[in-house]
Amino acid sequence: MKQHRSIVFILAIAGIVFGVAKTRGGETQSGDWTIRRSDAQGKVEFSLMDSRSGHHFHYSSDWPASEFSGLDFAKPGRQEVHFTIARDAGKFECEGFLHDGEGAGLFHFLPDAKYPQEMKSLGFEKIDGDKQFAMAIHDVSLKFVREIKAENLQGLDTDKLIAFRIHGVSPEFISGIRSAGLNVSDSDKLIAFRIHGVSPEFITGIRSAGLSAFDSDKLIAFRIHGVSPEFVSGVRSAGLNISDSDKLIAFRIHGVTPEMIRTLRQTGYEPDADKLIAMRIHGATPEWVEQLKKCGYEHVDLDKLIAFRIHGVSPEFIGQLQKLGYAHPEPDQLIAMRIHGVTPDFITGLKSRGMKNLTVDQLVSLRIHGID
């Protein structure tokens, strides 16, 4: 309860400070800061908020407590604080309070006048106030820019530099990717790698699984859909020796699992990759196949099972036919009945008009010729 009251108090004060920020002549580089405890050890959740002339901004991230020089987060009670966060793009002058390690206050951003010129000399122009503010928040330092520029990347601009810092594209990460055998230079691809988790270790694992690891888009798709070295190993252990990247991605998209492959093989099937994908697309699952078996249809050809699902040959349909005296139509006959609309109601209607003991082929022929 004490902690809850503390947080409410902090947020209330933050609202007051925010109001002050908005009345100081419409300053475009001022706003609120808050600090709260973080679940990450040795870190705090640091937030900056700004609303100026209709422009709204909110940044929040876990920062190492060590970056707040002079602040004692372990000190109980209330304490007035003043601290500076210095970056190449400018510095944040912060004042306010902490209460039991959490707090709020007002910040002023003071841009470094030399930073745009330094960046221009490195080939990055058109850095306005908002861009410089963002580059300060995300610590796009001149050292970082020089190191990244030395990597000779394609499509590199200030927005990409900020995205690199947000997502963790560092010179070390780029070096690791290239050392893993992938000579990537596309800035967007590197950002996508970090977003989706394409790491040097992942690339090495994919290559160790016998798959090609030279296509950036395939690696990203692997991570998006969950094609991991462990998944590939599981599929192969189930009896399917596959190395086709597109097929593996399709497996994950449609739900072809090692368990499905193993179950089908145990019942005597030898499905290939395309059959497995088609079965999942159309819903011919091992559980559904087992239901057909109970109706007397054991080990039906896989193509016919898929056709069953496409045209609506279900255990329920077969059961209704059996009740009408059609004990075991051939799979092709069942498919033809569904294609041409030979339904249990159609058969019942014919019987009521005295047309009994018709064969399946006769029933299909009647429908083909338009007899209702």
Domain ranges for the chain, please list them. 2-111, 297-368
pLDDT score for 372: 81
pLDDT digits (tens, 9 = 90+) for 172-221: 999 999 999 999 999 999 999 999 999 999 999 999 999 999 999 999 99
Contact 133/90 with Cβ under 8 angstroms?
Answer: yes
Whole-number mean pLDDT of the chain? 91
Determine phi and psi for 151, rounding to 5 degrees. Answer: -80, -5
Q: What is the pLDDT of residue 70?
A: 85
With 0.85 as the threshold, say if the pTM is over it. Answer: no
Higher-scoring residue by pLDDT: 331, 18: 331
Please give, one letter per residue, the 3-state secondary structure of 103-165: EEEEEEEEECCCHHHHHHHCCCCCCCHHHHHHHHHCCCCHHHHHHHHCCCCECCCHHHHHHHH
39-78 per-position pLDDT tens digit: 999 999 999 998 765 668 899 999 999 889 889 999 999 9
- Reported as a single tens digit per residue, the pLDDT across 276-303 is 999 999 999 999 999 999 999 999 999 9
**What are 325-343's pLDDT values in tens digits?**
999 999 999 999 999 999 9
Asked whether residue 257 carries a pLDDT value surpassing 60, the answer given is: yes
Q: Is 283 left (phi over 0), alpha (psi -120 to 50) or beta?
A: left
pLDDT at residue 1 is higher than 60: no
3-state SS, residue 76: coil
Return the percentage of the chain with pLDDT > 70, whole number.
91
